[in-house]
Amino acid sequence: MGFLSASASFTRYRIIEEIPDTLWPEIADRLRRNAFKDIDHTADERSFGWVAFDDMLDADWRSAPPQKGEFITMGLRLDTRRIPPAVFKKHLALALADEMERMEQTKGKAYVSRDRKNELKEQTKLRLMARTLPIPAQFDVVWNVTSGVVYLASIQSKLRALFEDMFTMTFDLHLEPMTPYYQALARMGEERASVLDDLEPTVFV
């Protein structure tokens, strides 16, 4: 769910480095250089990149600029092709049956080597990938340039890792999740880190 939904789960980050003033005029160009590329007409398994916050089909920011007041907004779009296991199993079985029939007719034995089986698996996967439409998903990102806090509308660990890598690659800045530990340390001070490290959970049941 995105930030424009009635409810949303999100992860907060802070930017570790000091942000150079030269970055701000380059925001739009940096996003376009790392924009999402469509894979509808390919057999690629996955594609990801930036799109406009307001329109997941807009990878050129024609509908609206990323800057909105004191915020920079964008969407991380991730398209993934998934072949249902039962479909793959069926088509692989058909390919193996055809191969065994061909082997029997040409060499007099119905035997398929391990290497050939692996080759048929790859061919079957590519063939089905080309016939399968990718499933699109967009994850909203809001960057408060005043506070330096970045919000990602997801708590999935794999998606968070992908986002962190994309953010660093795009803006040359590193993110740190604002976990409860970080929040407590920011208020207590680094000199009291040992107090937090020595805390033990309380069992109420």
Dihedral sign for Cα atoms in the order 61, 64, 70, 72: negative
Asked whether the predicted pLDDT for residue 41 surpasses 80, the reply is: yes
CA–CA dist 104, 148 (Å, integer): 68
What six digits make up the tokens of 108?
């007099």
**pLDDT tops 70 at residue 173:** yes
Q: Is the pLDDT of residue 195 over 80?
A: no
User: Would you kindly state where each structural domain of the chain is located, as residue ranges?
Assistant: 11-81+136-190, 85-131
pLDDT in tens, 98-140: 888 888 888 777 778 888 889 999 999 989 988 889 999 999 9
CB atoms within 10 A of CB 54: 15
Confidence of residue 6 (pLDDT cuts 50, 70, 90): confident
What pLDDT score was predicted for residue 202?
80
Confidence band, pLDDT 50/70/90 cuts, at residue 185? low
Measured CA to CA, the distance from residue 85 to residue 194 in angstroms comes to 49
Q: What is the pLDDT of residues 48-96, one digit of tens each?
A: 999 999 999 999 999 889 999 999 999 999 999 999 999 999 999 999 8
168: three-class secondary structure by DSSP: helix
Helix, strand and coil in the chain, % to nearest 5? 40, 20, 40
Angle at 159 (CA atoms; ends 190, 67), nearest 5 degrees: 80
Q: How confident is the model at residue 196 (pLDDT cuts 50, 70, 90)?
A: low
Kindly tell me the burial class for residue 189, based on how many C-beta atoms sit within 10 Å of its own C-beta (0-12, 13-18, 19 or more): exposed
Choose the weakest-confidence range: 6-15, 26-35, 196-205.
196-205
Q: pLDDT band for 189, please (50, 70, 90 cuts).
A: low
Question: What's the chain's Rg over C-alpha atoms?
Answer: 24
User: How much is the pLDDT for 203?
Assistant: 81
| pLDDT for position 43 | 86
Residues 136-168 pLDDT 10s = 999 999 999 999 999 999 999 999 999 999 999
Closest CA to 94 of 73, 75, 113, 120: 120
Q: How far is CA 78 from CA 124, 136, 165, in A?
A: 24, 6, 14
